[in-house]
Structure 1
Amino acid sequence: MIKEACVANFPAIVQAIQNGADRIELNADLAVGGVTPSKGMIAEAIKYVHDHDKEITVMIRPRKGDFIYNDIELKIMEADILEAQQLGADGVAFGALTVDNALDEDAMENLIAAAGGMTITMHMAFDALDHEEQLHAIDWLTDHGVERILTHGGALETPIEDNINHLKELLAHAANHIAILPGGGITSANYESIAKSLTVYQVHGTKIVE
């Protein structure tokens, strides 16, 4: 079981690793859902995580709010991806949508190209898509080499236990071609039962290890 701990400061990284996290997702400002951390934070986090033989994914999100980005914001995201790569990150997490609430395929292609050599996670922007668009996105992301999709399976205010059936649909459609990474409301107390219900080998959360 891979337990991915979502963290936003250095003490939280240390605690998560000590308590059994297998992978770190590094953010700043989790109160707004996470944004790109500073260069200094990324550098020190990568060093610590790699010294402990674990993996680290860096959140690439230039601001809070929606996932519809203009050209300047996308340039910032590309630069942040390249910075994370140069600093030695194992992976990056990002997502971009259109005003029509579809996957922004042009933007995603450019961001994916910038991330060459790193694993890529489509973050919870995925949950803003409607059902049919989610299925299309799974296929498109698979074809473009994205490794996993982080999803709550529904609105974030719903308990993840209420979204198990939808998550099973997504997993069936993904058919092991791309990983579906459940997150949001998964804790050290419930991750085993959720993983068993979904037959998944990785889980994500801010309280995945206590």
Structure 2
Amino acid sequence: MSVAVEIAVEDVAGLVVAAQSGAARVELCADLSRGGLTPDAALVAECAQAAARLVEEREAKPGFGVHVLVRSRASAGEGLTGEGEFVYSPEEIDLMAQQAARSVRAGAAGVVIGALTPQCAVDAPAVGAIRDAALEAATAQLRSLTLTFHRALDAMPTDADRTAAMEQLMLLGFHRVLSSGGAQRAIDGADCLAQMVRAADGLIDVCAGGGIRPAHIRDLVQTAGVEDIHLSARRRTPLAPGESDPETRTDTAVVQAAVDAAGEL
């Protein structure tokens, strides 16, 4: 089994760490401490150029690219299941459609999007509007684009809701879904993830994400059958007195441990 590791990063330095450590791709975000927001298009362009250079110089895996989170707002804290967290107004949907298009024009290999109705179902019209703006930008550049539905899925009430959403997301043209199986940590949502993998039937990838540590990867892959793993690999220890801020919070050792764990499967 080939297991791909995706690293959530906030900057070029984090992207370089992920690439040189053997990650398959990065998800570029702003403000990861709140679950992630849409990064500035200038940063997307800088990261896309860096990724292309690393691939060309064989310091990154072939196909390594930048997938951009498109999310216009987030509540305080890292939780992704707050009431109304993924329910958006028409103005917010329009903003995210513009952000998605700008990210693609800046060189994003994929966009990570999502929206729910007040009843916690997939908001197909909202998602479709954001998707179409991104695809139109990609078509103008004569290239393909990977579509990922983000962890809005984890705000759905039940495992059955998440599993049933898989078919709808396939019909909406998504290539991948990111989920913790509705749990705070993906390792605790492994049973739901396994149901989603079965429902996907090889037609859409299920990427496990949420509180993952390298030590979880073997059990998670064996239990859930996922072939994609997402983690932030951030440095969480406080700086020592007098120590300056690091260039990035992406921890090389954590990324390498995750890639090594995935490579053993």
TM-score by length of 2: 0.74
Number of residue pairs the alignment of both structures matches: 208
**Conserved 8 A contact 2:36-2:71:** yes
**Stretches of 4+ aligned residues off by more than 6 angstroms:** none
Q: Where does 1:169-184 land on structure 2 (aligned, <5 Å)?
A: 169-184=195-210
Q: Indicate yes or no: 2:70 matched with 1:24.
A: no
What residue is the counterpart of 1:55 in the other structure?
Answer: 65
**Cα distance in 2 between the residues matched to 1:144 and 1:160:** 24
**Cα distance in 2 between the residues matched to 1:59 and 1:17:** 18
**Conserved 8 A contact 1:2-1:202:** yes
> SS state of the match for residue 115, structure 1?
helix
What residue is the counterpart of 1:89 in the other structure?
Answer: 108
**Conserved 8 A contact 1:95-1:108:** yes
**Cα distance in 1 between the residues matched to 2:210 and 2:170:** 22
Q: In the superposition, relative to structure 1, how do residues 51 and 196 fare at CA in structure 2: closer, same or farther (>3 Å)?
A: farther
Deviations, residues 80-103 of structure 1 (Å, cap 9, x unaligned): 111111112110001101111111
Q: Where does 1:182-193 land on structure 2 (aligned, <5 Å)?
A: 182-193=208-219
Deviations, residues 36-81 of structure 1 (Å, cap 9, x unaligned): 0011111101111122221110000011131111111111101111
Q: Percent identity?
A: 31
**Cα distance in 2 between the residues matched to 1:109 and 1:125:** 15
Structure 2 unaligned segments of length 5 or more: list them. 56-63, 76-84, 136-143, 234-253, 257-265
Instruction: Select between 105-114 and 181-190 the one with higher mean Cα deviation.
Output: 181-190
Larger Rg: 2
Deviations, residues 159-204 of structure 1 (Å, cap 9, x unaligned): 4322211111111111112111101122333323322332332211
**1:119 corresponds to which letter in structure 2?**
T
Q: Indicate yes or no: 2:131 matched with 1:112.
A: yes
**Conserved 8 A contact 1:187-1:209:** no
Deviations, residues 12-48 of structure 1 (Å, cap 9, x unaligned): 1121212221100000000110000011111101111
**2:111 corresponds to which letter in structure 1?**
V
Structure 1 unaligned segments of length 5 or more: list them. none
What residue is the counterpart of 1:68 in the other structure?
Answer: 87
**Cα distance in 1 between the residues matched to 2:201 and 2:115:** 24
What residue is the counterpart of 1:138 in the other structure?
Answer: 166
**Cα distance in 2 between the residues matched to 1:94 and 1:58:** 9
CA RMSD of aligned residues (A): 1.5
What residue is the counterpart of 2:151 in the other structure?
Answer: 124
